[in-house]
Structure 1
Amino acid sequence: MPKKPVATSKLAKKSPSKRSRKMPRADGRQPLLTARRNARMARSAHAYVRGSTSRFYEWLDGIEGHALPEGPAVWICGDCHTGNIGPVADAYGRVEIQMRDFDQTVIGNPAHDLIRLGLSLATAARGSDLPGVTIVHMMEALADGYERAFDETAGEADIHAEKPEAVRVVMKEAIHRTWRHLAEERIDDAEPYIPLGSRFWPLDKTERREIDKLCRTRSIAALATALRGAGADAQVQVLDAAYWVKGCSSLGRLRYAVLLDIDGAAADGDDLCLVDIKEAAQAAAPRCSGVRMPRDHAERVVEGARHLSPSLGERMRPARLTDRPVVLRELLPQDMKLTIEQLTRDEATRAARFLALVVGKAHARQMDLAERKAWLAELRKNRSKTLDAPGWLWKSIVQLVSTHAAGYLEHCRKYATGVGEG
């Protein structure tokens, strides 16, 4: 019977100066994380969109005369803004643009993802000083791109032909990235340790012990070895671990970076593995009534990922750490965030059409032919003579942009003193 992969603690030698800096203890992190989150959200209206998922659904429910079409019950992202879409590699190194964050995933109404993406794009357009007429064209392109995913006559070529220049550039970069690029981007260096500082904080003894224990389990150790073709008896060693201060929406939850070595190859830089451990919390996105989903939040996140972004879902595992649900995911060099901050008029409409097509493909692969046809027919209803987008979509975006702008200014008023932090 083959031996299972094992993980042992093997902390690399570190510079004393880097390890002796004063860092917050585990029991003192929360106030600092909350302050940093508020400061990040105050930096721009687009950043505020990324950090206000819960409020998004409150705003959506509060829209006067709010009535959305009920699409087929499928797994949705639940937090479908532009920053949560980007290049993702599968286990064989193939790279595609897919959704890349599933904290809010539920079996829900696909219209919610489309509206969330529309709000994100409209906010990016306003931040780029684009005129209102461009936002009108963006929402028309958004509807068109999404609908193409359900149109049997559209063909697969669309998703390649519609790539805007910003997507082409990041895809080209992703394909040529190596471990060194990932290490320099995520942990500042390709050396086999995680440098402590503003992004990485030290663990307490309990956290370190629990992470080491978790990485000894067969399924988690196998996650690190599978992508490298290592055998079931490969040795997995924990080189280093730290608390990861990362992302607006996840600040305040458990988040760790763990550096693993496969078969002792760290000395020559081969077979290092960077794992992201992220706490899974209850989703703010509403789920459809009568559907069955995993009760465990980590299992829910992984299941949603497998349906929406198969390339990423196969690289994720649910687990428990200090009796809290967490999701483990190996980070690959090809995984990148698609940054859409400054847009030209032409790029804005192309980006809206392409990203909506990506989201539509993720939804469509979960539906049978009859469901796709029925949903497409519903999407094409209620068009006016002056706007080639569904009335419910346009009304939702207009009111959400207004409500979001007011919420952002109020957030800045409350937390203006911390804008320069984090």
Structure 2
Amino acid sequence: MLKPPKAKVPDLEDRQQLLNARRNTKMARSTHAYVRGNTIKFYDWLEQAEIRSLPHGPAIWICGDCHTGNLGPVADAKGRIEIQIRDLDQTVIGNPAHDLIRLGLSLATAARGSSLPGVTTINMIEALFAGYAEAFDKDRESDEPVRRPELVRVVMREAVRRSWKHLARERLDDIQPTIPFGNRFWPISKKERAEIEALFRNDAVARLATSLRGRANSGDVTVLDAAYWVKGCSSLGRLRYAVLLDVDGGVIEGDDLCLIDIKEGVKAAAPRYPDTSMPRDNAERVVEGARHLAPHLGERMRAASLQGRPVILRELLPQDLKLEIEQIGEEEAMEVARYLALVVGRAHARQMDKSTRRSWLAELRRSKTRSIDAPLWLWSSIVELVGSHETGYLEHCRRYALAAA
């Protein structure tokens, strides 16, 4: 029987060239995609924008990259599901207003991509502010249930019914205990494989898999397969691996398998408040921020070191999904904006005491005008940033077309 040829292991330079081309293609699809892939330019433009009296909120952990794709259903270690922030690479102790503006920009570009009229965008920003303020408007410590928009209810129903087989077919193309090489996964070198196997011989790292599966911490963990994970914009210039583990030696049923995402922790582009105490290690920073902003996700993450670089490990669960808002209807636009802002507001509010919540709410409500039921600083920043990103997007498309030619 002939053996299939071995897949070529791309070197670092080849990886970066391929990833760069993929990122440029992805970001050229729409202004909304361009916004999602441009965190650094967001803060550059925000700093340069002529926005007066941007409020300086309390020093709390913020997402730092709070666009719609970074929100969605997240399961905790016991399988309970909530809509939370699902990507904390940019998390810092900083100004909570930055999360609100970033989310508003993302929603505004989604509205433009859906050909919604400008009046709808105005209404979305008003709903965005109302939802965020609602999180601080009551003196309560616990989250209360809230009616979800239909778009959110659909993705929640899908998350609840998903099993390991759904995750395997979606991520791996198969339910067999291997990672298939191809468009999404690239082969790694023997040295990379050996370093990954050594990482999971560490008891603290191995417990990430055994504890989340409800098994004793003494359970065996074996690396079945590993690959470089191609994740578009987020993979560029950093370590990114998918690792398939056998938790107890069975490797027959899906419950015996565990898919781990290893991502390098890099310096955040989001500005941090000076004179605040944060972990210096970028992986530890991400894990700490996740514990404050997205408890379901934070308890499933660990910081470690691989190839001398900080990395974040988390088990991927079938229930973890992103909200895809490439197209949105006029009627549900305001509901989605209000709900997502409430989710972010609650992530911020749970880090504040009662007095701080009250003072931040008062600060949020200043500079409101008669023409729009949202603060002037919020409206002005989103409008100016939409224009900047539209210009940047068209320039990106021009460069992308020239490079392709």
Task: Please confirm whether the aligned pair reaches a TM-score higher than 0.5, indicating the same fold.
Answer: yes
* 1:202 aligned onto 2:187: yes
- C-alpha displacement of 1:22: 4.1
Asked if 1:140 corresponds to 2:119, the answer is: no
Aligned mates of 2:342, 2:4 — CA distance in 1: 45
| Separation of aligned partners in 2, 1:250 and 1:415 | 19
Compute the RMSD of aligned alpha carbons: 1.8
Query: Is residue 116 of structure 1 aligned with residue 102 of structure 2?
Result: yes
Matches within 5 A, 1:17-416: 20-22=6-8, 24-152=10-138, 159-161=145-147, 163-416=148-401
Q: 1:153 to 1:229 in 2, by over 3 A?
A: closer
Deviation, 1:199, is 0.7
State the secondary structure of the residue aligned to 2:221: strand
Letter of the aligned partner of 2:380 in structure 1? Answer: K
TM-fit CA distance, 1:341: 1.2
Matching residue's letter, 1:102: L
Amino acid aligned to 1:166: L
**What SS does the corresponding residue of 1:96 show, helix, strand or coil?**
strand
**1:86/1:335 contact within 8 Å kept:** yes
2:48 maps to a residue whose letter is: G
Contact 2:259 2:316 (C-alpha < 8 Å) held by counterparts: yes
**Where in structure 1 do 4 or more consecutive aligned residues deviate above 3 Å?**
15-19, 153-159, 417-420
Q: CA deviation at 1:232?
A: 2.4
Letter in 2 for 1:129: S
Report the AA paired with residue 93 of structure 1.
G
Question: Which residue matches 1:10?
Answer: none
- The 8 Å contact of residues 42 and 416 in structure 1, kept in 2 or not, is answered as no
C-alpha distance in structure 2 between counterparts of 1:53 and 1:205, whole Å: 34
Change (3 A) 1:19 1:147: farther
Secondary structure of 2:369's aligned partner: coil
Separation (CA, whole Å) in 2 of partners of 1:310 and 1:155: 15
What is the CA–CA distance in structure 1 between the aligned matches of 2:163 and 2:276, rounded to whole Å? 41
Can you give the 5+ residue segments of structure 2 that lack an aligned partner in the other structure?
none
Task: State the shift of 1:123 in Å.
Answer: 0.3
Match of 1:9 in 2: none
Contact 1:104 1:284 in 2 (8 A): yes
Check 1:288–1:78 CA distance in 2 against 1; reply closer, same or farther (3 A cut).
same
Taking the aligned partners of 1:318 and 1:16, their CA distance within structure 2 comes to 42
Q: Could you tell me whether the CA contact under 8 Å between 2:141 and 2:350 is conserved in 1?
A: no
Per-residue deviation, 1:380: 1.1
Deviation digits for residues 249-275 of structure 1 (CA, Å, limit 9, x no counterpart): 333311000000011111233320000
Change over 3 Å in CA distance of 1:418–1:224 after alignment to 2? farther
One-letter amino acid of the counterpart of residue 206, structure 2 = A
Distance 1:225 1:402 in 2: 49
Using the size of structure 2 for normalisation, the TM-score is 0.96
Contact kept in structure 2, 1:52 and 1:249, CA below 8 Å: no
Distance 1:308 1:270 in 2: 28
Query: What is the one-letter code of the residue matched to 1:258?
Result: V
Distance 2:318 2:11 in 1: 31
User: Aligned partner of 1:81: which letter?
Assistant: H
**Separation (CA, whole Å) in 2 of partners of 1:155 and 1:320:** 36
Change (3 A) 1:157 1:257: closer
Change (3 A) 1:364 1:16: farther
Q: Encode CA deviations 1:124-148: one digit per residue, 9 max, x unaligned.
A: 0000000000000000000000000
Query: What amino acid sits opposite 1:403 in the alignment?
Result: S
2:79 match: secondary structure = coil
> After superposition, what is the alpha-carbon deviation per residue over 1:321-345, rounded to whole angstroms, capped at 9, x for unaligned?
0001110000000000111111111
Per the TM alignment, residue 47 of structure 1 is displaced from its structure 2 partner at its CA by 0.8
1:155-187 alpha-carbon deviations (Å, 9 max, x no partner) = 9786521x1111000001101110000011111
- Counting matched residue pairs gives 405
Alpha-carbon separation, structure 2, partners of 1:52 and 1:272? 35
SS at match of 1:129: coil
Structure 1 length normalisation: TM-score?
0.93
Contact 1:26 1:204 in 2 (8 A): no
Give me the whole-angstrom Cα distance separating, in 2, the residues matched to 1:241 and 1:18.
18
- State the one-letter code of the partner of 2:221: V
Structure 1 SS opposite 2:77:
coil
Distance 1:312 1:415 in 2: 36
**Structure 1 unaligned regions, length at least 5:** 1-14
| Percent identity (aligned) | 64
